[in-house]
Amino acid sequence: MHGGQHWQPQFPKAPLMTDPLRPGQTIGILGGGQLGRMLAVAASRLGLHVHIFEPGANCPASEVAQTTTTASYDDTDALTAFARSVDVVTYEFENVPTAALDAIEALCPIRPGRVALATSQDRLTEKTFLQELGLTTAPFAAVQTKDELDEALTRIGTPAILKTRQMGYDGKGQARIMTPTDGPDALASMQGAPAILEGFVNFSHEVSIIGARSADGAVACFDPGENVHEDGILRTTTVPAKLSPTQRTDAILIAARIMTALNYVGVLGVELFVTAAGLVVNEIAPRVHNSGHWTQDGCLIDQFEQHIRAVAGWPLGDGSRHSNVVMENLIGDDMDRLSELSGAGVAIHLYGKAEVKPGRKMGHVNRIVGPAG
């Protein structure tokens, strides 16, 4: 497996963790949502302790973690105490503020590292990085002014989509431009934030590949899954995905190349568009990923344990797929359907969120469709 090394770390050297964590040592996790919760459960299976750092009270992860710090990401004292109390820090979301990372990194290794975070926090940086690796992305251009937008629209054409460079998720911070006359309104909706114009990709379906890379550079990927979104939120992931053997191999090579270039340690999600001309990288997420939840019931070792193993300096586990699975997210009042969600081949996973809100991810269901094939 080889990867281009164009991308250079721009951060001070972090403390290096050389030995694997021993049972009883502690992983700090930034973020206490459902991903942190499922990471904490995976850590417990390996005898590792977990310390959650999360601004919100009564977060899902705190229910299964030994320790929780409830504090803001700008509370340097709390971050310092947190970093001192753990052996390595990881995170369940990519938008961790830079100042928080600075405070932690002086005291404790962060896995995956700062480069992966900085890359994925900014759509322009991410797409530039991917292109420099020789991977295909949607055509894109940085846009902050009316002139830049006009120039970009001339080059990329319409339809296109204008997105804030930072902090977007689940379709937020985005405006479609169907014809050039939509440009001014789209730009205004960015409210002055640096933006990126992306051309539309003509794709047949979306797949994602969940890769893992250990501290010693070994790479393992889960089988690609096929994703269906509704209103910008993942609705289902199906494995196996509709892919030719070549496309499946390409997906794995893309994930491996990205992880190697970032000197990545942990689990990474890569969303890919399937087109007649090949796979186009949509975006990367430097963390466990909703589209990898099927691994909990389709593999011996799931994405959460794989991430914990990597972060803890352990060898990766056996993530080969033993079953065909359809994962369905339970969103908002899908929770009312709980009583139907039983029976043969059904595994429910709930996140312990007290309040049901429209669009809120409350849990998911993995349906086993049959043995792997």
Residue 300 interacts with its own copies (CB under 8 A)? yes
Residue placing its CB nearer to its own copies in the complex, 52 or 195? 52
Residue 233 interacts with its own copies (CB under 8 A)? no
User: How near is the Cβ of 222 to its own copies at its closest, in Å?
Assistant: 15
User: How near is the Cβ of 68 to its own copies at its closest, in Å?
Assistant: 11
Q: Single out the segment in contact with its own copies by CB under 8 A; choices: 71-79, 180-188, 248-256, 297-305.
A: 297-305
Residue 24 interacts with its own copies (CB under 8 A)? yes
User: How near is the Cβ of 212 to its own copies at its closest, in Å?
Assistant: 14
Q: In this structure, are residues 287 and 133 in contact, taking their beta carbons and an 8 Å threshold?
A: no
Q: In this structure, are residues 86 and 108 in contact, taking their beta carbons and an 8 Å threshold?
A: yes
Q: In this structure, are residues 290 and 235 in contact, taking their beta carbons and an 8 Å threshold?
A: no
Angle at 288 between CA 88 and CA 350, to 5 degrees: 110
Place of tokens 């908002």: 332
**Structural element, H or E, at residue 148:** helix 146-156
CA dihedral 27, 30, 33, 39 (to 10 degrees): -20
Residue 350 interacts with its own copies (CB under 8 A)? yes
User: How near is the Cβ of 257 to its own copies at its closest, in Å?
Assistant: 25
Residue 235 interacts with its own copies (CB under 8 A)? no
Residue 346 interacts with its own copies (CB under 8 A)? yes
Residue 146 interacts with its own copies (CB under 8 A)? no
Residue placing its CB nearer to its own copies in the complex, 193 or 347? 347
Q: In this structure, are residues 242 and 99 in contact, taking their beta carbons and an 8 Å threshold?
A: no
Q: What does each C-alpha distance from 111 to 141, 208, 285, 315 come to in angstroms?
A: 30, 22, 13, 15
Residue 373 interacts with its own copies (CB under 8 A)? no
Residue 354 interacts with its own copies (CB under 8 A)? yes
Q: Interface residues for its own copies in 43-72 (CB under 8 A)? A: 44-47, 49, 63-64, 66
Q: Residues 6 or more apart from 180 whose CB is under 8 A from it?
A: 150, 153, 158
> What is the C-alpha to C-alpha distance for residues 187 and 166, in angstroms, rounded to an integer?
15
> Contacting its own copies (CB under 8 A), which of 283, 329, 351, 365?
351
- Token duo for residue 38: 């499922």
Which x/- pattern over 25-44 shows residues binding its own copies (rule: CB under 8 A)? ------------x--xx--x
Size of the site for its own copies (CB under 8 A): 41
Residue 361 interacts with its own copies (CB under 8 A)? no
Residue placing its CB nearer to its own copies in the complex, 9 or 20? 20
- Token duo for residue 205: 């379906």
Place of tokens 């797949």: 207
What is the longest distance spanned by two Cα atoms in the chain? 60
> Contacting its own copies (CB under 8 A), which of 54, 297, 328, 334?
297
Instruction: Encode burial over 271-303: b for 16+ CB neighbours within 10 A, e otherwise.
Output: bbbbeeeebbbbbbbbbbbbbbbbbbbbbebbb
Residue 164 interacts with its own copies (CB under 8 A)? no
Residue 337 interacts with its own copies (CB under 8 A)? no
CA dihedral 186, 188, 194, 196 (to 10 degrees): 10
CA dihedral 217, 222, 228, 233 (to 10 degrees): -50
User: How near is the Cβ of 364 to its own copies at its closest, in Å?
Assistant: 11
Strand partners, 266: 213
Residue 335 interacts with its own copies (CB under 8 A)? yes
Residue placing its CB nearer to its own copies in the complex, 12 or 343? 343
Residue 320 interacts with its own copies (CB under 8 A)? yes
Q: List the one residue out of 81, 76, 74 whose CA is nearest residue 28.
A: 81
Residue placing its CB nearer to its own copies in the complex, 192 or 343? 343
User: How near is the Cβ of 305 to its own copies at its closest, in Å?
Assistant: 8
Residues that bind its own copies in the complex, under the rule CB under 8 A: 23-24, 37, 40-41, 44-47, 49, 63-64, 66, 297, 300-301, 314-315, 317-318, 320, 322-323, 335, 338, 342-354, 363, 368, 371
